[in-house]
């Protein structure tokens, strides 16, 4: 029997950008060549996206023939590399039985967590739990070559590498600017945690590959051989011109132009509409952030400092934007101050924010201050601010 860890290269679709991990079992004597895949999920459920936003994602372990498994990766031109595991007969049988047992209906489902329990995590853990000796991973980061047993709660991390950095490597390579903006906006400060060596290995397929490649099972190397099963030249998506930065810079320019022509009746009306739509959008984004913060069962969207510029209270404030009430005036002053603090502290913030937030902050400061300065902005069509 031969057992291999399969590492599949990233695809071009968002769901496949981080690659994939699976386990192959081949036994010529039994005529068996199958793949165990922890990355299976059912998106046919009409409530799938509702559960997805709440972090309630039921993934499962599935089994397919090796030939069927490879069809998808050949069609998508994605490289697949096999690391043949250097296991004893006892370890192979135990790992195979564990995988077979986990495909039973009562065992195959598991709760997916993006950072801490995904298809890579599951593949790594089941291999680790079926070795006779403590599996030892060398540090996969460039700095610090310590040897860390997988059972230890290692505090070793790379030189400043965070979960967000690891994700950005893949998103930047494929020029996925809008998905990166969305991830940076909705996922909170916990994404800026520096993972330990074992946490990094368990997170993404490429990191598990790197960790397994130098791992020791007792006195022997964990990987006995590496085979490239499918090889395709690396393809990258071309950079698009319509980026979040360009889009929000355009919105900023529009707000400035409308302001300079504010004495024109049509421009004044347009500026009023601009403020209403802009702060409405910010409020809706803030409500989404609040829902993701409070509604998800995991903590990946909590402690999100972005909510300080996308205040959910804007949804209420916009309906008083033409009123002269003192609280409205000072509400927009506070809004401008919060945005200014975020702008000044952008390079030093407790949470790393997407660079496309900068023009949004400038718009918030500019328009909020103008609304504070002149409460007649929207009531009279010939406003001064």
Contact 221, 326 (CB under 8 A): no
Residue 12 confidence (pLDDT): 78
218 vs 83: which has the higher pLDDT:
83
Which of 56-65, 111-120, 150-159, 272-281 has the least mean pLDDT?
150-159
Place of tokens 């009409």: 46
Contact 294, 307 (CB under 8 A): no
- Where does the pLDDT of residue 143 fall: very low under 50, low under 70, confident under 90, or very high at 90 and above? very low
- pTM of the entire structure? 0.84
| Buried residues in 270-288 as b, exposed as e (16+ CB within 10 A) | bbbebbeebbbebbebbbb
Distances (CA, A) of 144 to 13, 138, 233: 34, 9, 32
Residue 144 confidence (pLDDT): 39
Determine the 3-state secondary structure of 159 from DSSP. coil
What DSSP element (H or E) covers 227? strand 223-230
Chain segment 278-293, per-residue pLDDT in tens: 999 999 999 999 999 9
* Cα–Cα distance measured from residue 171 to residue 14, given in angstroms and rounded to the nearest whole number: 9
Closest among 259, 238, 353, 347 to 304, alpha carbons compared: 353
Mean pLDDT of the chain: 87
* Cα–Cα distance measured from residue 293 to residue 311, given in angstroms and rounded to the nearest whole number: 13
For residue 148, give every residue at least 6 positions away whose Cβ sits within 8 Å of its Cβ, in sequence order, or none: 136, 137, 138, 139, 154, 156, 197, 198
């Amino acid at each position: 029997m031969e057992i291999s860890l399969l590492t599949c290269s990233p695809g071009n679709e968002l769901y496949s950008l981080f690659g994939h991990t699976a386990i192959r079992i081949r036994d010529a004597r039994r005529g068996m060549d199958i793949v165990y895949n922890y990355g299976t999920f059912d998106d046919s459920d009409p409530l799938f996206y509702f559960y997805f936003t709440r972090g309630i994602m039921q993934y499962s372990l599935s089994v397919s023939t090796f030939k069927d498994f490879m069809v998808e990766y050949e069609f998508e031109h994605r490289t697949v590399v096999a690391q043949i595991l250097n296991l004893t007969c006892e370890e192979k049988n135990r790992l195979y039985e564990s995988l077979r047992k986990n495909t039973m209906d009562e065992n195959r489902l598991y709760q997916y967590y993006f950072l801490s329990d995904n298809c890579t995590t599951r593949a790594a853990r089941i291999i680790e739990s079926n070795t006779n000796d403590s599996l030892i991973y060398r540090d996969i980061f460039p700095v610090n070559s310590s040897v860390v047993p997988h059972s230890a709660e290692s505090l070793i991390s790379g030189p400043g590498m965070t979960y967000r950095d690891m994700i950005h490597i893949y998103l930047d390579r494929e020029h996925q600017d809008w998905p990166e903006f969305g991830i940076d906006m909705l996922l909170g400060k916990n994404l800026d945690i520096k993972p330990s060596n074992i946490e990094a290995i368990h997170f993404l397929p490429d990191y598990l590959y790197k960790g397994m490649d130098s791992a020791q099972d007792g006195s022997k190397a964990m990987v006995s051989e590496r085979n490239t099963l499918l090889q395709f030249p690396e393809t990258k998506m071309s950079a698009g011109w319509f980026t979040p930065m360009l889009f929000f810079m355009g919105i900023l320019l529009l707000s400035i132009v409308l302001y300079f022509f504010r004495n024109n009746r049509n421009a004044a009306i347009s500026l009023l509409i601009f403020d209403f739509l802009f702060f409405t959008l910010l409020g809706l984004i803030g409500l989404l952030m609040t829902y993701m913060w409070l509604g998800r069962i995991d903590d990946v969207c909590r402690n999100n400092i972005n909510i300080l510029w996308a205040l959910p209270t804007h949804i209420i404030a916009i309906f008083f934007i033409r009123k002269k009430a003192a609280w409205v005036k000072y509400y927009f002053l506070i809004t401008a101050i919060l945005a200014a603090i975020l702008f000044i502290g952008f390079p030093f913030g407790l949470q790393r924010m997407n660079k496309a937030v900068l023009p949004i902050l400038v718009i918030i400061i500019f328009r909020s201050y103008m609304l504070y300065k002149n409460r007649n902005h929207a009531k009279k069509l010939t406003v001064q601010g």
